[in-house]
Structures are given as structure tokens and as C-alpha cells.
Copies of this chain bind each other. A is one copy, B any other.
């Protein structure tokens, strides 16, 4: 690829990813706001989609320290959204699950987020958006490998 073209692509990518992130996050916030934050929403979503979720798993997925997860989980547990249960075989491990209240909360916000994303996606034709998501997924893979290399060093 030409040096100049690469430079232009870099600038465009940095700008557009910043802009989309900010705008999307702000729209999601305006949709879900029924007393939970965006991070709490993502934590709840993750727990629901995971079979046996632990703090360590969340810390890895969210790329933060475990103590940051403890803080978020504490707030949600205090409000009865999340429940903790110890593993009987390995008593160091604590499994995180959604309470009935948490599940209901998750269902509601998930629905709103889906409607929002649907209204975005359906403005493209199928080929374009499919290609976009395919490339996006490749990018995720590249980033994962980069991360692994970084750890290896």
C-alpha cells in the first residue's frame, strides 16, 4: 500500500472510531438509563451470556483489575441485581449470577439496545453491513493476537 494512502486511512480510522464510540455510547445511555450505568449494563450482559461467570473472567474480558470488578459487583449485589455463590469444590471461586430482578432488568435493556442497533443496521444493504461486520471481527482477532504477543514478551 502507498505510504500516503496508509496515513490517510489511519487518520480516518482514528477519527471515525472515536466519533462512533462517543455517539453510540451516548445513545445507549439514553436508552438504558433506568438506574444502571453503561458499565453495569455490559457486566450484566456478560454474566447473562456466560455459563459460569467469575470475577477473574470479567476482569480479563473487560481488561481491568479484579478489584475494579469487585467494586461494580458490590454495587449490583447491594441492589439485589447479582448474586454470589461459592464453588463447593474450590472455595476460592465465586460464581456470579443474575437474580430474577437482574434477569428482568437485563431483558428490558437488551431489548432496547437491540432495537437501537437494528435501526442502525437496517439502513445498510445486507452485503455492505455483512462485509463490515466480517472485517470488524477480523480486527478483533488481530487485536486478540496482538494482546497475546504483548503478554508473551
Q: Does A14 contact B (CB under 8 A)?
A: yes
Q: Does A118 contact B (CB under 8 A)?
A: yes
Residues of chain B with a CB closer than 8 A to A147's CB: 23, 26-27
Q: Which of A66-74, A78-86, A92-100, A129-137 contacts B (4 or more CB under 8 A)?
A: A129-137
Q: Do B17 and A122 have beta carbons less than 8 Å apart?
A: no
Q: Among A26, A113, A126, A136, which residue has the most Cβ atoms of chain B within 10 A?
A: A136
Q: Do B144 and A12 have beta carbons less than 8 Å apart?
A: no
Q: Do A135 and B140 have beta carbons less than 8 Å apart?
A: no
Q: Do B135 and A124 have beta carbons less than 8 Å apart?
A: yes
Q: Does A150 contact B (CB under 8 A)?
A: yes
**Count of chain copies:** 2
Q: Do A16 and B131 have beta carbons less than 8 Å apart?
A: no
State whether A14 and B113 are in contact (beta carbons under 8 Å apart), knowing that A63-B22, A63-B26 are contacts in the complex: yes
Q: Does A36 contact B (CB under 8 A)?
A: no
Cβ < 8 Å to B, chain A residues 1-60? 1, 5-6, 9-10, 12-14, 16-27, 30, 42
24 contacts between A and B (CB under 8 A): A6-B121, A9-B121, A9-B129, A9-B133, A12-B133, A12-B137, A13-B133, A14-B117, A16-B136, A19-B140, A20-B139, A22-B62, A23-B146, A24-B143, A25-B63, A26-B63, A119-B146, A120-B146, A124-B138, A129-B135, A131-B131, A131-B132, A132-B135, A132-B136
